[in-house]
Amino acid sequence: MVGCGYGSVVSSYGAQARARYVAEPPKRAGRTAFERDRGRIVHSAALRRLSAKTQVLGAGFDDFVRNRLTHSQEVAQVARELGASLGCDPDIVDSAALAHDLGHPPFGHNGEKALDAVAEECGGFEGNAQTLRLLTRLEAKTVTSEGTSVGLNLTRGTLSACIKYPWARGEAPDGGGKFGVYPDDRPVFDWIRADAEPFRRPIEAQVMDLSDDIAYSVHDVEDGVVGGWFDLTQGLDEDGVYTVAQSWYAPDVPTDQLAAALARLRQLPAWPERRFDGTRPALAAIKGLTSALIGRFATAAQAATIERWGHGPLVLFEADLEVPDETLHEITVLKALAAHHVMLADDRAGQLGSQRDLLTGLVARLLEREGRDLERDIAEDWARADDDAARLRVVIDQVACLTDLSARLWAQRLGV
């Protein structure tokens, strides 16, 4: 990927993008506002907790497989390079990538489903909306003169890039269930989006989103191969993979286009020719494939975007990220490959059910004990809550902050 001069990038972002919800005194010279944003995320407790949260396989399952933190670091590396090649501020896209999974609860997407079900009366649960809540409320860094937390108090430019779904529940333009803000976080959301066209994301958020898809499509396949769940040189149950691709990710993409995407990937020189056996040559081969795939996908998006919008710098709402359909189909097939062979494996069904039961029971128990077991900062939110829905949201905040291990320990301590 071709880079872009950093000096010209910084000058492309005006005072509106650098503004903070609560004004701060001038900081020491030598760092941009966006560099300080990235530093605040890197040093946050929420980011550290991701090291003990599930990516695909449970955190601690194996020393090799990714957890949410290592996944986020890999997304950030892809996003930083792709964003910089288009003229985006690299610290903005890096920050958005590091932050994109902060709101995920214990047990990954499985935990997200469990909390969404029990949070119905307070507006549901969505990992991306929870990320905004963490960045602007729960992760303490700055408070108002009245003592109210405004979270990390990041710039508008960085926060805008962190919002993957810029709409509330039930407002998705495609009718989907994803959303990016809870009702009581609407004031800061509206401040962030003050000059944005409804539903439109800045290019930095689009880069973060694609980088997430690239990283987990490629690395989940790598983890699945190394973990022995499937082998790229053997039968992959293509029909099952295409079914998952259409039911989970791309319902409008015909099977023949998915099959063509997989065929193209299999023709790549880096596609393994020998069954994975755990030796260093085999490990090198699978790592070579991941590098080739990341480069293939990012380069395709870069080229298509520059062809459509020029060399830039391309920042904020001045351009959109262009991704060729063939690239999207290849990413979809890889995501479905891991989902079919790992996430939907028969021997994981019981484990997933017990995880959901644990989180559901933990929420019920914390509500029953009327906030007595909450951590100090969250207990203060309980004391300020003025109705049952607000108290339920506080308990959801507490449970969502836990790691896979601490959720089990809390459940054991509270007799869940």
Per residue in 132-186, pLDDT (tens digit) is 999 999 999 999 989 899 999 999 999 999 999 999 999 999 888 999 999 999 9
What local confidence, expressed as pLDDT, does residue 322 receive? 98
Which range (113-117, 224-228, 340-344, 382-386) has the least confidence? 340-344
Dmax (CA) of the chain = 64
Report how far residue 11's alpha carbon sits from residue 9's, in angstroms, rounded to the nearest whole number: 5
What local confidence, expressed as pLDDT, does residue 401 receive? 95
Report how far residue 416's alpha carbon sits from residue 412's, in angstroms, rounded to the nearest whole number: 6
What 8-state DSSP symbol labels residue 120?
A: G
Cβ atoms of 134 and 41 closer than 8 Å: no
Percent of the chain with pLDDT over 70: 93
Report how far residue 197's alpha carbon sits from residue 192's, in angstroms, rounded to the nearest whole number: 12
Per DSSP, the three-state class of 327 is helix
CB atoms within 10 A of CB 185: 19
- CATH fold of 6-192: Hypothetical protein af1432 (1.10.3210)
Contacts 24+ apart (CB under 8 A), 366-375: 366/395, 366/398, 366/399, 366/414, 367/391, 367/392, 367/395, 369/414, 371/395, 373/410, 373/414, 374/398, 375/401
Assess whether pLDDT exceeds 70 at residue 13: yes
Its pTM surpasses 0.85: yes
For residues 258 and 27, which has the higher predicted lDDT (pLDDT)? 258
> Mind listing the pLDDT tens digit for each residue in 263-293?
999 999 999 999 999 999 999 999 999 999 9
At residue 168, φ and ψ (nearest 5 deg) are -90, 175
What local confidence, expressed as pLDDT, does residue 30 receive? 81
Cβ atoms of 123 and 393 closer than 8 Å: yes
Assess whether pLDDT exceeds 80 at residue 10: no
Q: Which two tokens stand for residue 352?
A: 């997933």
Report how far residue 291's alpha carbon sits from residue 372's, in angstroms, rounded to the nearest whole number: 49
Identify residue 68 by its one-letter amino acid code.
Answer: R
Q: Which residue has the tokens 């909390």?
A: 115
> Mind listing the pLDDT tens digit for each residue in 83-132?
999 999 999 999 999 999 999 999 988 899 999 999 999 999 999 999 99
Report how far residue 347's alpha carbon sits from residue 349's, in angstroms, rounded to the nearest whole number: 6
Assess whether pLDDT exceeds 90 at residue 348: no
Cβ atoms of 321 and 94 closer than 8 Å: no
Cβ atoms of 221 and 338 closer than 8 Å: yes
Rg of the chain (C-alpha set):
22
Write the CB contacts of 215 (distance below 8 Å, at least 6 apart in sequence).
71, 74, 75, 78, 294
Q: Which two tokens stand for residue 369?
A: 């004990």
Range(s) within the chain of domains with CATH label 1.10.3210.10: 6-192
Report how far residue 364's alpha carbon sits from residue 310's, in angstroms, rounded to the nearest whole number: 54
Q: For residue 148, how far is the Cα from the chain centroid?
A: 27
